[in-house]
């Protein structure tokens, strides 16, 4: 039975207490590292601009993207389906021009408060995900509380490669991966490889991957949340517990 005084308990997708006891004996992480896409940034505009550029409806684009995700394919598999005669690389510059980079309107509404609370509580905050290097300046322009930021392009390696998580340990100046809680929306790119590397994990169930993916047997994130609203309190209780 789940102890209600242990708020760091993981919950399953329906919000019911997980069947296993929380790993509350584990020391609380002191560093919280956030994936970027669909954790900090709502990527709706990214995909809507692609749909517009390719001349198809946002609904059609999103449906095909969802099918690719559900099949376990790379999201780039969407392009041969929706625009078989187009090389998306040739449109990337125009896409970026129309997209205009990360903007305040793209931030999920719970992000800024969560990062402020974590910083106030003394947690180290790191922002690190699979992104081109130009996104770093765009993130900095959003003026989010943080201690370190890096993209996969800057680190020279992408998730789910374990070298990404090794680089993250160095970036965060951790001595042990378990000092880091990695918060990500994807099981395949975030939760599974971060856990395999020895990090604590928070699966954020939002965005297409967060909604469509399932946990494989034997993988139990330390936290499973639908938003960031509770995260600082859960971590604070875990640390104080
Ligand atoms: Mg993501």
Cα(100) to ligand 1 centroid in Å equals: 19
In-domain check, residue 7: no
Cα(120) to ligand 1 centroid in Å equals: 25
In-domain check, residue 1: no
**Are 225 and 193 part of one and the same domain?**
yes
Strand-pair partners of 32? 125, 181
**Are 89 and 37 part of one and the same domain?**
no
CB 223 within 8 A of CB 175: no
Cα(94) to ligand 1 centroid in Å equals: 23
Cα(35) to ligand 1 centroid in Å equals: 5
**Are 226 and 111 part of one and the same domain?**
yes
What does the pLDDT look like over 28-52, one tens digit per residue? Answer: 999 999 999 999 999 999 999 999 9
What does the pLDDT look like over 112-165, one tens digit per residue? Answer: 999 999 999 999 999 999 999 999 999 999 999 999 999 999 999 999 999 999
CA pair distance 153, 49, nearest whole angstrom: 22
Question: Domain range holding 53?
Answer: 44-99
**Are 187 and 134 part of one and the same domain?**
yes
**Are 61 and 165 part of one and the same domain?**
no
CATH code of the domain covering residue 229: 3.40.50.1000
Q: pTM for the full model?
A: 0.89
In-domain check, residue 116: yes
**Are 115 and 208 part of one and the same domain?**
yes
In-domain check, residue 213: yes
Cα(3) to ligand 1 centroid in Å equals: 31
In-domain check, residue 14: no
**Are 48 and 37 part of one and the same domain?**
no
CB 21 within 8 A of CB 168: no
């Amino acid at each position: 039975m789940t102890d209600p005084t242990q708020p760091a308990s993981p919950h399953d997708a329906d919000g019911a207490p997980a069947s296993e006891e929380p790993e509350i004996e584990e020391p609380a992480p002191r560093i919280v590292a956030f994936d970027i896409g669909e954790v900090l940034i709502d990527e709706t505009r990214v995909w809507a601009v692609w749909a517009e550029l390719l001349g198809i409806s946002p609904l059609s684009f999103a449906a095909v993207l969802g099918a690719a995700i559900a099949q376990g394919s790379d999201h780039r598999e969407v392009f041969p389906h929706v625009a078989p005669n187009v090389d998306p690389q040739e449109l990337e510059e125009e896409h970026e021009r129309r997209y205009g980079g990360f903007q305040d309107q793209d931030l999920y509404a719970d992000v800024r408060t969560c990062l402020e609370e974590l910083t106030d509580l003394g947690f180290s905050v790191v922002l690190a995900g699979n992104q081109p290097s130009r996104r770093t300046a765009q993130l900095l322009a959003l003026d989010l509380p943080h201690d370190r930021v890096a993209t996969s392009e800057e680190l020279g390696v992408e998730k789910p490669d374990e070298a990404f998580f090794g680089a993250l340990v160095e970036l965060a100046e951790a001595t042990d991966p378990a000092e880091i809680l990695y918060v990500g929306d994807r099981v395949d790119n975030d939760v599974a490889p971060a856990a395999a590397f020895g990090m604590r994990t928070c699966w954020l169930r939002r965005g297409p991957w967060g909604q469509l993916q399932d946990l494989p047997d034997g993988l139990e994130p330390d936290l499973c949340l639908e938003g960031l609203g509770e995260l600082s309190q859960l971590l604070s209780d875990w640390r104080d517990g």
